[in-house]
């Protein structure tokens, strides 16, 4: 077409007409290209207003072609009239020029219309109706494309309609599934929120009980520590008592030994008294033999004998007392030894009790520390459970929002009509 217009502009006196034709064609061509780009998605813009703009450019081009055709006919008629008046050889050139212009304009018009139809793929009114129905959301229409126009605008619109129909169908299916899933998520989150709140309440009660248990164990540990101190003091006192009893046992042993020595001494005294008595008896016998001369000696011998007898009796009494005392001392010594052994057992028992209480104190301290850690863990778990409850509430709100958005998307997609 541009070549035809260029040939028209080259005709003498037709430069202005050729320029008008070129301007009209370029405007129509630009409008057609813009319309095709809009409907093919290459360019964003007003699709509904593109076709009227293209039709206006087409009408302007047809008007320019009509004017050029009329001008050519007028020129041809004038040339013919002048030829009739006797213009010679120039007449034939003018007639030939007019014929060429008419032929070129006719061919250009035919080529232009054929080009527009090929680009549209059908009649402009049909293409406009198709666009209006698609703009209204009707994707159920069957778009008919002229034979051999698979690369035209209507073919592209047909493919776009089919693609949009598939997309809208997939979106509808997806929104339905998303709505059902969001409802299930919302219900699950609500149930989880209730269970999480119950768990948080149970953990809070557990944390309170753990605090009470921690305080009780701490008091038990303090009591065990005090008992350990008292047991240590009792062990010390028992050790001292054992030492005192040991000293008493030693003293009683010494007393028993001294009593035995006294008994031995009393035995010696008793023997001396016995011998003195015998000597006094012998002296009395000798004094009796001596007669009157030995009377004084006999008196002395009698006194000595009497003294020896009293000494022997006193020695026997002392021996009896000492024997009884030694027996009591030995009995007391045995009792003291038994008491010493008992005190040793008491000291050992107190020491064992002290050791056990020390172990109980250490175990109570470790138990108190362990329960303290457990209490801290329970408190942290309670805090995390409360945070989880808040997150579950947020998730439930998000699920509700997602369901609302899915419903809104369903409402928006429902405006499209599918085959």
Residue from 314, 242, 324, 308 nearest 276 by CA:
308
Whether 110 and 257 share a structural domain: no
In a domain, 169, yes or no: no
Note whether 220 and 92 are same-domain residues: no
- Whether residue 281 contacts residue 274, with contact meaning beta carbons closer than 8 Å, is answered with no
Whether 101 is covered by a domain: the verdict is yes
Domain boundary at 67, 93, 120, which? 120
Same domain, 15 and 100: yes
DSSP string covering 302-327: HHHHHHHHHHHHHHHHHHHHHHHHHH
Q: pLDDT 10s per residue in the chain (419 long)? A: 566 566 666 666 666 766 776 777 677 667 766 766 666 556 677 666 766 776 677 677 667 767 766 776 676 566 556 655 644 455 455 555 555 555 555 555 544 555 555 555 666 677 777 777 777 777 677 777 777 767 676 677 777 777 767 776 777 777 777 777 777 777 777 777 777 777 777 767 877 777 787 777 777 767 767 877 776 777 677 677 767 767 776 776 777 777 777 767 777 777 777 787 777 777 777 777 777 766 676 677 677 777 777 777 877 787 787 777 777 777 777 777 787 788 778 778 877 877 887 888 787 778 778 777 777 877 787 788 778 777 777 777 777 777 777 777 767 666 656 66
Task: For residue 47, tell me if it sits in a domain.
Answer: yes
Please tell me whether residues 236 and 88 are part of one structural domain.
no
Task: Specify if 223 maps to a domain.
Answer: yes
Check whether residue 116 and residue 199 sit in a common domain. Answer: no
Q: Report pLDDT for 273.
A: 72
Q: Does one domain contain both 263 and 349?
A: yes
Looking at the fold, whether 276 and 398 belong to one and the same domain comes out as yes
Residues 8, 104, single domain; the answer is yes
Question: Nearest Cα to 363, choosing from 224, 268, 188?
Answer: 224
Specify if 221 maps to a domain: yes
Q: Which of 96, 120, 144 is the last residue of a domain?
A: 120
From CA 75, how far away is CA 17, in angstroms rounded?
12
Number of domains, the chain: 2
Whether residue 257 is found in the same domain as residue 406: yes
pLDDT of res. 331:
79
Looking at the domain assignment, is residue 418 inside a domain?
A: no
What per-residue confidence (pLDDT) applies to 88?
Answer: 47
Classify residue 125: in a domain, yes or no: no
Asked if 201 and 70 sit in the same domain, the reply is no
Domain boundary (120, 155, 185) is at 120
Question: CA 168, CA 309: separation in Å to the nearest integer?
Answer: 150
**Are 368 and 224 in a shared domain?**
yes
Residue 355, domain CATH: 1.10.287.950
Same domain, 214 and 107: no
* Structural domain that includes position 214: 195-411
What is the distance between the alpha carbons of residues 66 and 55, in angstroms, rounded to a whole number? 16
* Residue 188 domain flag: no
Burial of 252 (0-12, 13-18, 19+ CB in 10 A): buried
Residues 274, 313: Cα–Cα separation, whole Å: 10
């Amino acid at each position: 077409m541009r070549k035809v217009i260029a040939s028209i502009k080259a005709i003498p006196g037709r430069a202005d007409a050729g320029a008008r034709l070129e301007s009209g064609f370029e405007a129509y061509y630009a409008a057609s290209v813009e319309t095709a780009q809009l409907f093919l998605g290459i360019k964003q813009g007003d699709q509904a207003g593109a076709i009227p703009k293209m039709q206006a450019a087409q009408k302007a081009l047809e008007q320019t072609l009509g004017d050029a055709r009329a001008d050519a006919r007028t020129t041809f008629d004038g040339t013919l009239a002048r030829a009739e008046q006797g213009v010679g050889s120039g007449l034939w050139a003018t007639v030939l020029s007019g014929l060429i212009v008419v032929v070129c304009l006719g061919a250009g018009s035919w080529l232009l219309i054929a080009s527009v139809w090929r680009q549209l793929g059908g009649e402009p009114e049909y293409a406009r109706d198709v666009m209006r129905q698609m703009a209204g959301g009707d994707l159920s229409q069957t778009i008919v494309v002229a034979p051999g126009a698979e690369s035209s605008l209507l073919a592209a619109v047909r493919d776009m309609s089919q693609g949009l129909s598939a997309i809208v169908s997939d979106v509808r299916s997806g929104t339905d599934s998303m709505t059902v899933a969001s409802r299930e998520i919302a219900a699950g989150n609500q149930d989880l929120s209730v269970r999480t709140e119950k768990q948080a309440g149970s953990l809070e009660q557990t944390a309170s009980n753990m605090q009470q248990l921690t305080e009780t164990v701490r008091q038990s540990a303090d009591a065990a520590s005090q008992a350990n101190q008292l047991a240590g003091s009792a062990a010390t006192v028992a050790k001292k008592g054992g030492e005192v009893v040991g000293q008493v046992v030693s003293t009683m042993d010494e007393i028993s030994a001294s009593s035995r020595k006294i008994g031995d001494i009393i035995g010696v005294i008793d023997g001396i008294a016995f011998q003195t008595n015998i000597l006094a008896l012998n002296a009395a016998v000798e004094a009796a033999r001596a007669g009157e001369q030995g009377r004084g000696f006999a008196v002395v011998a009698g006194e000595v004998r009497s003294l020896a007898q009293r000494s022997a009796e006193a020695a026997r009494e002392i021996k009896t007392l000492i024997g009884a005392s030694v027996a009591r001392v030995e009995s007391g010594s045995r009792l003291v030894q038994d008491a010493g052994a008992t005190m040793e057992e008491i000291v050992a028992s107190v020491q064992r009790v002290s050791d056990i209480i020390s172990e109980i104190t250490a175990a109570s301290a470790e138990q108190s520390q362990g329960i303290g850690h457990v209490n801290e863990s329970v408190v942290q778990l309670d805090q995390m459970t409360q945070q989880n409850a808040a997150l579950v509430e947020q998730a439930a709100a998000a699920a509700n929002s997602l369901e609302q958005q899915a419903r809104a998307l369903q409402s928006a997609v429902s405006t499209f009509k599918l085959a």
